[in-house]
Amino acid sequence: MKQGIIFDLDGVLLSTDEMHYTAWKSIADELGVPFGRTENNLLRGVSRMASLEIILGLGNLTLPEDVKFSLTERKNNRYVALLQTLTPDVVTQEVRDTLKELKARGIKIAIGSSSKNAKLILRLTDLAQYFDAVSDGTNISHSKPDPEVFLKGADFLGLSPDVCAVVEDAVAGIDAANAGGFYSIGIGDASKYDKADAAIEHISELLNVI
């Protein structure tokens, strides 16, 4: 059994994907870049600035750094405004029961998310109580598939990567976990990724694969 588990947040424990999509689409519309749900999938698991670079690439656009920073700030402000509608009800009982059981087994758990809003989301959804550590976009300089966010998460838990599992729904996240020497578990889209060490359909199945 693993001593620690590091969870990606969005898409694994809950979903704010629709809020991300709405906020990014408003930015893409301003830039005149066609942007739908297919394009939105390209942004999953990557940082805010990297997401903007993808959108700019779709439109063959090049912008000064200060303009790009302004655009990412506007996107985030719109996303954070949408986040205020989050309540604990968006988290399923299955997720809460799984986290409680992990704690009962003495397994340390952390968040490993590229989002700079992870702590806000945890607070709004009453998930913060379950986690021993949070590694997020506020303490990293490289986004997934770089393993930094997970390596720092393991460090915050006081554990080495080889005794930790990472649960991810994005291919970039599985690549990051593998690069860091973690046991990678895919859920959602990542459950079909052949580089994941294990795959689950439902979060409760995690209890059988660690």
Q: Catalytic site residue 10?
A: yes
Cα dist from 172 to 3, 23, 42, 64, whole Å: 23, 22, 10, 27
Q: Torsion angle, CA of 124/129/131/134, rounded to 10 degrees? A: 40
**Cα first-last separation, the chain:** 5
For residue 7, give both structure tokens: 């969870």
CA contacts within 13 A on the Cβ side of 23: 22
Q: Catalytic site residue 132?
A: no
Cα dist from 157 to 107, 115, 182, whole Å: 10, 19, 14
Measured CA to CA, the distance from residue 59 to residue 66 in angstroms comes to 18
Q: Which among 10, 136, 146, 175 is annotated as catalytic?
A: 10
Q: Which among 8, 146, 169, 175 is annotated as catalytic?
A: 8
Measured CA to CA, the distance from residue 173 to residue 175 in angstroms comes to 5
Report, as residue numbers or ranges, the catalytic residues: 8, 10
